[in-house]
Amino acid sequence: MIAIIDYGAGNLFSVKNALDFLGIENKLTSKISDLQAADELILPGVGAFPDAMKMLVSSGLDRVIKELAEEKPLLGICLGMQLLFEKGYEFEETDGLGLIEGCVKLIDAGGQKIPHMGWNDLTLLNPCAMTKDVEKGDFVYFVHSYRADTPPENISCYTVYHEQIPALVHKGNVYGAQFHPEKSSDVGLKMLRNFASLTEGKAKQ
């Protein structure tokens, strides 16, 4: 079962609807016991980095997420992906969850529109379990103004919007998608299915 972490940051139901469509058992929840019982965790989110971190800290979910990420797969989506890093610089410097090295800063769009919004193609850099059967040139859907700045070894695939933007990051049990897999047609659904399959082998042992 996948627990979709409800901490008040929105974008919950589109993720749930995608998992329901795939027939993957899931639950929207903020209960610590539900998170502990889940096989995988998804941290979604839209909005501002400082506000989201305040909600996580005030609820105590920040500590729970960091503890559980040591033992089970965690996927951050859009703002949820940005929260995985050490710091964010949206409006003010804010500590993130610190699960992946790096920070989150405003896109250098080179005069193009911000937010970066629409379909962009992917280039694989360090393939991971979530990119199984994903090919160079596959398109996914983005809506964001900030991007991760992290060492190349943490970047599974990237896109280009004037500058190189990490699209999918990965370290240990932790994955982060800057794009919206739930809105990215067959490619995004394939990645969600790959994520849900991460613990299947363990369950059969």
List, by residue number, the catalytic residues: 78, 180, 182
CB 175 within 8 A of CB 128: yes
CA pair distance 62, 95, nearest whole angstrom: 11
3-state secondary structure 17-69: HHHHHHCCCEEEECCHHHHHHCCEEEECCCCCHHHHHHHHHHHCHHHHHHHHC
- Alpha-carbon distances of 152 from 24, 52, 53, rounded to whole Å: 31, 26, 25
Q: Could you tell me which of 146, 156, 152 has the C-alpha nearest to residue 122?
A: 156
CA pair distance 7, 77, nearest whole angstrom: 14
